[in-house]
A and B are shown apart, each in its own frame.
Chain A
Amino acid sequence: MPKRLVYLDNAATTPVRPEVLEAMLPYLGREAFGNPSSPHRFGRAARAGVDQAKRSIAEALGGGGGGGGGVEPAQVIFTSGGTEADNLAVIGCALAARDRGDPFRVAVSAIEHKAVLAAAHAVAHLGGEEIILPVSGSGEVADAALNEALARGVAVVSVMWVNNEVGVVQPIARLAARCRDAGVPFHVDGVQAFGKIPVSLSDIPCTLFTISGHKIGAPKGIGALVVRDRHAVEAIIHGGGQQFGIRPGTENVPGIVGLGAAVELAAREQAAFAARAAALRDDLERRVLAVVPDAVINGASGPRAPHVSSVSIPGTDSEALLMHLDLAGIACSSGSACSTGAVEPSHVLTAMGVPRELGVAALRFSFGKENTEEDVEALVAALPKIVEKVRHLSAVLHR
Chain B
Amino acid sequence: MTDRVLVAMSGGVDSSVAAALLVEAGYDVVGATMKLFCYGDSVPDRPCCSLDSITDAQLVAHKLGIPHYVLNFEDRFGRDVIANFVSEYARGRTPIPCVRCNSFTKFRDFLYHADALDCAYVATGHYAIARDGGLFRGRDVLKDQSYFLWGIDRGVVARMLTPVGSLTKPETRTAARRLGLVTAEKPESVEICFVPDDDYVRVLERHLPSDAPALAPGPVVTTGGEVVGQHDGFARYTIGQRRGLPGGFREPRYVVAIRPATREVVLGSGDELLGHAVTLGELNWLADPLAPGDPVWVQCRYRAPAVPGRVRECSPATLELDLAEPVRAITPGQSGALYDADGRLLGGGVIA
Contacts and interface: CB of A to CB of B under 8 A. Distances in A.
Interface of A: 319-320, 323-324, 326-327, 338-343, 389-390, 392-393, 396-397
B69 interface: yes
Given A320-B113, A338-B49, 6 more contacts: A319-B71, A324-B116, A326-B67, A327-B117, A340-B40, A341-B74
Contacts of A327: 30, 67, 117
A320 B116 contact: yes
B307 interface: no
Nearest to B69: A323
A342 B115 CA distance: 22
A390 B74 CA distance: 18
B116 A392 contact: yes
Interface of B: 30, 38, 40-41, 48-49, 67, 69, 71-72, 74-76, 109, 112-113, 115-117
Given A341-B38, A343-B72, A324 B109 contact: no
B116 A390 contact: yes
Contact of B115 (A319, A339, A341, A393): A393
B49 A393 contact: no
A319 B41 CA distance: 22
Nearest to A397: B112
Contact of B72 (A324, A342, A396): A342
Contacts of B48: 338-340
Given A340-B48, A397-B112, A324 B117 contact: yes
A254 B109 CA distance: 49
Q: Could you say which of B49, B67, B116 has the most chain A C-beta atoms within 10 Å of its C-beta?
A: B116
A324 B115 CA distance: 12
Contacts of B38: 340-341
A319 B116 contact: no
Nearest to B37: A341
A389 B40 CA distance: 32
A41 B75 CA distance: 62
A121 to B, nearest CB: 15
Contacts of B67: 326-327
B75 A393 contact: no
B45 to A, nearest CB: 15
B117 A342 contact: no
A396 B112 contact: yes
19 contacts: A319-B71, A319-B72, A320-B116, A323-B69, A324-B116, A326-B69, A327-B30, A338-B48, A340-B38, A341-B38, A341-B75, A342-B72, A342-B74, A342-B75, A389-B116, A389-B117, A392-B116, A397-B76, A397-B112
